[in-house]
Amino acid sequence: MVKNMYDYVGEQWKKPDTSFKSPQQQRVIQWRKEENYTRVEKPLRIDRARSLGYKAKQGYIVVRAHVRRGSMRKPTIRAGRKPSAKGISKITAGKSIQRIAEERTAKRFPNMEVLNSYWVGDDGKHHYYEVILVDPVHPAILKDPKINWISNASNTRRVLRGKTSAGQKGRGLMYKGRGAEKVRPSIRAKMGRGK
């Protein structure tokens, strides 16, 4: 099968070169100096952005956001508990870092809806993601039959309800059938229903 340009770009991103003089490492050094939620002119990973619904037209923007790395930090105990049950290490959040990045970006751009996001890099302190945002009331979006579904009232603040790919993965909706009987329509809705 013949490969296209996007296939070659995707292969380069499977194992990016992170040596000190590499372009990727220099990018991360530059991103660290910039402020969070920086609007970028065009996506860095064009293949990934296109596969997630991005189009180079009015109504779409791409924002680079970063979120801290690692699990949740908890202060060490001083007295009154058994050290083996102190619960400091291996405490992780219920949401993925990517989902947190999407939600924080949505709050920074309240007139836009989050379509999706993808990883673009990390360093010792942060994970960096590019978040694709869509203006639901832009005339170009309303005219496009492939994306105007995002203008419906049912899709308002969709990222905060776990409707993006990262949100669905965190809710366990990427699996069907055996072992996933109690995840639809949501884990909360299934609680108390029995079998």
Residue 195 lies in a domain: no
pLDDT per position as a tens digit, 101-137: 999 999 999 999 999 999 999 999 999 999 999 999 9
Residue 194 lies in a domain: no
In terms of residue numbers, what domain contains 72? 5-155
- In degrees, to the nearest 5, what angle opens at C-alpha 124 toward C-alphas 127 and 40? 40
The CA distance from 181 to 187, in Å, is 10
43: pLDDT confidence band, cut at 50, 70 and 90? very high
Domain count, the chain: 1
AA identity, residue 46? I
Cα Rg of the chain (Å, integer): 20
Residue 128 lies in a domain: yes
Residue 166 lies in a domain: no
DSSP 8-class letter at 179 = T
Backbone angles phi, psi at 10, to 5 degrees: -65, -35
Specify the CATH number for the domain of residue 82: 3.40.1120.10
Residue 182 lies in a domain: no
The CA distance from 158 to 163, in Å, is 5
Q: Are 87 and 74 in contact (CB under 8 A)?
A: yes
Residue 37: which of 2, 13, 62, 12 has the closest Cα? 62
Query: Which helix (H) or strand (E) is 24 found in, with range?
Result: helix 23-33
Q: What is the mean pLDDT of the chain?
A: 90
pLDDT per position as a tens digit, 127-144: 999 999 999 999 999 999
Residue 36 lies in a domain: yes
Quick count: other Cβ atoms within 10 Å of Cβ 86?
A: 11
